[in-house]
Amino acid sequence: MKRGLSLLLALMLVIGLALPLAGAIAEDARPTLTVFDFTEELDQYLINNATTIKQMEDDLGVNLEIEVVSGMSTEEKTSTMIASGDYADIMFRVDERMIEAGALLPLDDLLESDGQDVLAAWGDSINKLRYPDDGNIYWIGSPRNRPEEITDPGACLMVQYEVLDKLGYPTIKTLDDVYQMLNDYLAIQPDLNGTPFIPWGIWADSWGYNHTVNNPALWVNGFTDDSNAYVDQQTYDVTYFTATDYFKNYVSFLNKLYLNNLLSENAFITKYDEFNSQVASGRVLAMIYNASLASDSEAALRAAGMPERCYARFPILADESVVDRSNVYCESYDNGVGISTSCSDPALAMKVINYIASLKGNILFNWGIEGVHYDVIDGKRVWKEEVAQKFATDPNYRYQEGIDCLGWWPLYYGSMKLDDGDYACPQNKQAFYGNADDWTKKVLDAYGITCWGDNFDTSGTPTPYGYGWTLVIQAGSDAELALTKADTVRHTEVPTVVMSQTQEEFDANFASMVDKLYNECKINLWEDAMKQAILDRMEIWGGQK
């Protein structure tokens, strides 16, 4: 026992001495920049040695040390970083907190001198990155200032193929259509081999509430994602969305579902894991949700041999007069990559960012290296067979190569086109229909479309201030406190409202909730702060500051 221990210690000593020595030998005379990346998807070891990162290092003559700060408790790690002032040179996914902490350099001058590609890519949209308080640019986000063709929508109504099939592919447009459809289907098929269905899917724990309870009320009324706010488009007065009649109408829809046994009493205590299980078991007939969040469950359904229980995506409206704007892109940014005040060579750091944002960088980090990962066929980029294969089967491949895994880097994603006319990203519209399974094809054909995105109009009117949820309320302020309290209230009161038995009860419960919001939580403080934030933002975006 003792000998084994001392042997182990000796071994560790040797390794401990050897490692830094090895590092010292390998290091060339390149300048080194330290990088913090606040995401958890990246694997620190893989990314530091990734092919594309190495390529960038060679092209620029720089050595990058990337530290991936995991998603857990970033709050605490960030606070120690700020308190001690130990920042890395380049930091990804920073937001207004870092600005308030005085950690970031203003980038305007650096952009002028070394950030030509960034400016070219962004054009006027660069104003949307300005910090309202002083009008400086502190971070560069992922640009979305080009038109995008949606293949698969985000927020939408999801209905099982099987349900549509059995009912002869009806047109589903409004909430009433949904209600009718559920009743009709259950009349034909009351349960799934003895297990009861969950006709309407909801999970209301923490952020699930936004996706399944709050936001559907936005979509059906033709609003874009202002999250907690209802904004009057003329005066920019803000009302807490939960207190509005729009929300009340949607909740009465849920109430109707509940009273007709289409909404389970457990809906409001369902947590994320359980919900995914429910969806993956094929029991959830329909829901309003964000389709990308259900992809794991759909994969499980297909793997279990139940592809007919996957979901079709439609827009959903309260009634025929509303125009759907659920997938209209309102360009606004809430985080990006910044250069810290403790950086020894800001110009070099800006060169790195510039490289990433340039055409070359976009191709490198989305597609790979020509000849190695992709070929140009008929003027269009196509991944090589074996590369595409590896992406589909090996979860580590993308991190090893550093391709298509760098979320939050200032790259173009999705079905946007780059300056050379080709797509930014391999997953695009053309591939969708070809890659779809038989059931998906069947349903798509029945509705006369080639992909779900065809159902959605992305060219509608965006708001002049972008997305409401990206607006910043000062941390630690009374407005923020009011919002937190209101959030608690709505989590506890909305279930009660939904489960009211009579119309009088419903009205009374709703009124009491609104009362609490204004009197106990003082949500009007938040409303005022939001309005001010909107006005500030519009001023900056107009380029007036």
Partner 1 sequence: MKGKLSYRSPSERIGNALLYAVLTLLGVLMLYPFWNVFVLALNEPLDTLRGGVYLWPRKFTLDNLRQILQMRNLLTAFINSILRTVIGSTVSVFCIMMFSYCLSRRDFVMRGLLQRMVVISMYISGGLIPYYFVIRNLGLLNNFLVYIIPFMLNAFYVLVARSFIDQLPSSLRESAQIDGANDLMILIRIIIPLSLPIVATLVLFTAVDQWNSWYDTYIYTKGTDLTTLQYELVKVLSKSTASIKNYEDVQSRLLSGGTVTSTPQSIRMAITVVATLPILCVYPFMQRYFIQGLTLGGVKG
Partner 2 sequence: MVKRTLAQKLWNQRILVAMALPFMVWMLVFNFAPLMGWSMAFVNYKPRYGIFSSEWVGLKYFAEFITDNRFYEVLRNTFAMSGLNIFFGTFSAIGLAVLLSEVRSTAFKRTIQTVSYLPHFISWVVVSNIFYTFLSSEGLFNDVLLRLGITSETVSYMSKETSFWGIVTFSQVWKEMGWNAILYLAAITAIDPQLYEAATLDGVTRFGKIRYITIPCIMPTIMMLLVLNIGNLLNATGFDPSYLMGNDMTVNYSENLAVYAYTYGMQMSRYSMSTALSIFNSMFSLLLVWSANKLSTRFIEGGIL
Query: What is the binding site for partner 2 (CB under 8 A)?
Result: 75-76, 79, 82-83, 97, 100-102, 195, 204-205, 209, 265-266, 268-269, 271, 273-274, 475-476, 480-481, 484, 488, 491-492, 495
Angle between helix axes 523-541 and 503-519 (nearest 10 degrees) is 70
Confirm or reject binding of residue 71 to partner 1 (CB under 8 A).
Answer: yes
Measured from the CB atom, the residue of 248 and 490 that comes closer to partner 2 is 490
Choose one: 38-46, 235-243, 356-364, 496-504; the region binding partner 1 (CB under 8 A). 38-46
Count of residues binding partner 1 (CB under 8 A)? Answer: 65
Could you give the CA distance from residue 241 to residue 231 in angstroms, rounded to a whole number?
9
**Which candidate, 252, 231, 162, 304, places its Cα nearest to that of 528?**
231
Q: What is the dihedral of CA 424, 426, 427, 430, to 10 degrees?
A: 90
Measured from the CB atom, the residue of 264 and 500 that comes closer to partner 1 is 264
CB of 459 to partner 1, least distance (A): 18
Measured from the CB atom, the residue of 296 and 520 that comes closer to partner 1 is 296
Confirm or reject binding of residue 407 to partner 1 (CB under 8 A).
Answer: yes
Measured from the CB atom, the residue of 199 and 222 that comes closer to partner 2 is 199
Structure tokens at 491: 């989590």
Please give the helix or strand (H or E) that residue 63 lies within, else none. strand 63-68
Amino acid type, 449:
I
Confirm or reject binding of residue 292 to partner 1 (CB under 8 A).
Answer: yes
**Which candidate, 310, 312, 421, 305, places its Cα nearest to that of 363?**
421
What is the 3 state secondary structure string of 39-58?
CCCCCHHHHHCCHHHHHHHH
Q: Spell out the alpha helix ranges (H) of 396-460.
A: 397-401, 429-435, 438-446
Binding mask 271-290 for partner 1 (x = CB under 8 A): -xx--xx--xx--------x
Confirm or reject binding of residue 300 to partner 1 (CB under 8 A).
Answer: yes
Radius of gyration of the chain (CA): 26
Footprint (CB under 8 A) of partner 1, residues 197-216: 206-207, 210-211
CB of 513 to partner 1, least distance (A): 20
Could you give the CA distance from residue 189 to residue 162 in angstroms, rounded to a whole number?
11
CB of 7 to partner 1, least distance (A): 12
From the list partner 2, partner 1, none, partner contacted by residue 70 (C-beta under 5 to 8 A by kind): partner 1
CB of 298 to partner 2, least distance (A): 22
Structure tokens at 76: 């605490």
CB of 206 to partner 1, least distance (A): 7
Q: What is the DSSP letter of 423?
A: B
Could you give the CA distance from residue 523 to residue 346 in angstroms, rounded to a whole number?
42
Confirm or reject binding of residue 119 to partner 1 (CB under 8 A).
Answer: no
Confirm or reject binding of residue 38 to partner 1 (CB under 8 A).
Answer: no
Measured from the CB atom, the residue of 67 and 507 that comes closer to partner 1 is 67
Measured from the CB atom, the residue of 15 and 377 that comes closer to partner 1 is 15
Confirm or reject binding of residue 25 to partner 1 (CB under 8 A).
Answer: no
Could you give the CA distance from residue 218 to residue 227 in angstroms, rounded to a whole number?
8
What is the 3 state secondary structure string of 170-223?
CCCCEHHHHHHHHHHHHHHCCEECCEECEEECCCCCCHHHHHHHHHHHHHHCCC
Interacting residues of 533 by C-beta distance below 8 A, sequence separation 6+: 132, 471, 472, 473
Confirm or reject binding of residue 83 to partner 1 (CB under 8 A).
Answer: yes
Binding mask 212-251 for partner 1 (x = CB under 8 A): -------------x-x------------------------
CB of 45 to partner 1, least distance (A): 4
- Taking 3-state DSSP, the helix, strand and coil percentages for the chain, each rounded to the nearest 5, stand at 50, 15, 40
CB of 297 to partner 1, least distance (A): 7
Query: How many residues appear in the chain?
Result: 545
Confirm or reject binding of residue 408 to partner 1 (CB under 8 A).
Answer: yes
Interacting residues of 159 by C-beta distance below 8 A, sequence separation 6+: 172, 178, 181, 285, 286, 311, 312, 314
Confirm or reject binding of residue 15 to partner 1 (CB under 8 A).
Answer: yes
From the list partner 2, partner 1, none, partner contacted by residue 441 (C-beta under 5 to 8 A by kind): none
Decide: residue 190, CB within 10 A, 0-12 exposed, 13-18 middle, 19+ buried: exposed
Residue numbers at the binding site for partner 1 (CB under 8 A)? 5, 8-9, 12, 15, 19, 39-41, 43-46, 67-68, 70-73, 76-77, 79-80, 83-84, 93, 141-142, 144, 154, 206-207, 210-211, 225, 227, 272-273, 276-277, 280-281, 290, 292-293, 296-297, 299-300, 303-304, 334-335, 395-396, 406-409, 411, 413-414, 467, 469-470
